[in-house]
Amino acid sequence: MDPPSTLRLSLLKRPHVREARLWRPLEGRPGWVVCDLCYRRCPIAPGKYGACGVRKNIDGRLYTLVYGLLSAMALDPIEKKPLMHFYPGSVVLSVSTVGCNFFCQFCQNWEISQSRLERGLMGVQVSPEELAMKAVAYEADGITFTYNEPTIFVEYLIDASREAKKRGLYTTMVTNGYATPEAIDEIGGLIDAATVDFKGGGNKDFYRKVMRVPDPEPIYQSMLAMKDKGWFIEVTNLVVPKIGDREEDVRRMARWIVENLGPETPFHLLRFHPDYKLRHLPHTPVETLEKLARAAKEEGLEYVYIGNVWGHPLEHTYCPRCGYKVIERYGFTILSYRLTKDNRCPRCGYKINIKGTYKGKSAGMPMPVY
């Protein structure tokens, strides 16, 4: 092997630079590498970055440049992720880096997701151990990797999750689902729950034109890999008016979830609000969300929510058997929690799909930490 260059030696002294997981040399192209972390499987020339902008080929080896370099940290209610059926009323310490493997024109967090390291570093260095200790000090119940795509900083996610587990914290990620099965295998049981975010009904044209993602189909394979690992899954779909609100797409997605993850999988239809490059589009009409919610229920999903419409009746959880309102919410706050201790409907005894215990402490959230 060639001796390390001065550039590599100086970069390796920085705490946010670590050799990456899941890469291999590209056959027939000396010095090139392939990243196998997400389905882009970027071939990367020496000195260049992958599409996410945070993984770099330095002297024929792949490095992450965002290890522990956190762009945001906040205390959130778990309902904000959204995870409505996972430790309800609990509090998570949410963290992110910069960069993303998607290029969504509507991204609410575009300032961090579309930031690129060659334009300068952005973040505060926090070691995995420090992060877990902060979560305990803030009396959080868990840690969530969110705001930008956590797959792209998997090295830190794995180490931080390990530290979290040592301290009895749960771990979750909010993901676009584009991680390869190898990446999910690498994370294994270190993540307890995932919110898998679809946009535009998972429509292929929408993914290509509005997000620069060649094909959403691998996301379904990833969800199966997550299920195999025992992760608790909730699925969201951002409904973008005029260009990403087709009923047949939502029906297809709902059918797949029912058949492969189970009808008890919570499903969220999220209202779009104008942001980033799609400021010319209106908010999603509430009637559109309601029509799609009816369609998802008709396909067999038991728990369908409408998100980003505070005060809407589909913020609550209803018993699928008798219709009783078992959890009442306003936004991210639980107003009343009426389940029995073993998470059954108090009226008819139906077992509600809830993982974990009710914590009842998320009112007044979220709170920024920095």
What would the two tokens of residue 99 be?
């960069």
**Contact with ligand SF4 (CB under 6 A): which of 17, 33, 38, 95?**
38
**Angstrom distances, CA of residue 207 to CA of 101, 108, 202, 213, 243:** 12, 17, 7, 5, 11
Q: In this complex, which beta carbon is closest to ligand SF4, that of residue 114 or of residue 265?
A: 114
- State which residue, 90 or 222, has the beta carbon closest to ligand SF4: 222
Stretch that binds ligand SF4, among 38-46, 203-211, 219-227, 249-257 (CB under 6 A): 38-46
Provide, rounded to whole angstroms, the least separation between the CB of residue 40 and ligand SF4.
Answer: 4
Other CB atoms within 10 Å distance of the CB of residue 250: 26
Stretch that binds ligand SF4, among 50-58, 77-85, 109-117, 184-192 (CB under 6 A): 50-58
DSSP 44-108: E-TT-B-TTSSEEEETTEEEES-TTEESEEEEEEGGGTT-SSBSTT-EEEEEE-S--S---TT-T
Binding mask 152-171 for ligand SF4 (x = CB under 6 A): x-------------------
CB 181, min distance to ligand SF4, A: 14
Size of the site for ligand SF4 (CB under 6 A): 12
Q: Which residue is nearest to ligand SF4 (CB)?
A: 50
Residue 220 DSSP SS3: helix
- Selected from 17, 35, 135, 250, the binder of ligand SF4 by CB under 6 A is 35
Residue 56 makes contact with ligand SF4 by CB under 6 A = no
Q: Residue 37, interface with ligand SF4 (CB under 6 A)? A: yes
CB of 33 to ligand SF4, least distance (A): 9
* 101 touches ligand SF4 by CB under 6 A: yes
Q: 42, 194, 219, 254: which one contacts ligand SF4 (CB under 6 A)?
A: 42
Q: Is 311 left (phi over 0), alpha (psi -120 to 50) or beta?
A: left
Cα angle 95, 195, 279 (rounded to 5 degrees) comes to 75
What's the rounded Cα separation, in Å, for the pair 127 and 68? 6
Write out the H or E segment, with its range, that includes residue 110: helix 110-113
Residue 263 CB, shortest distance to ligand SF4, in Å, is 32
- Decide: is 212 part of the binding site for ligand SF4 (CB under 6 A): no
**In the complex, what is the shortest distance from the CB of residue 344 to ligand SF4, in angstroms, rounded to a whole number?**
42
Please state, in angstroms and rounded to a whole number, the distance separating the CA atoms of residues 265 and 55: 34
| Residue among 17, 33, 40, 175 that touches ligand SF4 (CB under 6 A) | 40
Residue among 152 and 253 whose Cβ is closer to ligand SF4:
152
Please count the CA atoms within 13 angstroms of the CA of 338 that sit on its side-chain side: 19
With vertex at residue 345, the alpha carbon angle to CA 342 and CA 349, rounded to the nearest 5 degrees, is: 80
- Find the part of the chain contacting ligand SF4 (CB under 6 A) among 31-39, 78-86, 155-163, 345-353: 31-39
Q: What are phi and psi of 154, to 5 degrees?
A: -60, -30
Segment 125-154, which members bind ligand SF4 (CB under 6 A)?
Answer: 152
End-to-end CA distance of the chain: 43
Query: What is the strand order of the sheet 23-25 is part of?
Result: 23-25, 33-35, 43-44
Single residue of 16, 17, 33, 52 touching ligand SF4 by CB under 6 A: 52
Residue 315 to residue 309: CA distance in whole angstroms = 8
- Per CB under 6 A, 41 contacts ligand SF4: yes
Q: Which residues bind ligand SF4 (CB under 6 A)?
A: 35, 37-38, 40-42, 50-52, 55, 101, 152
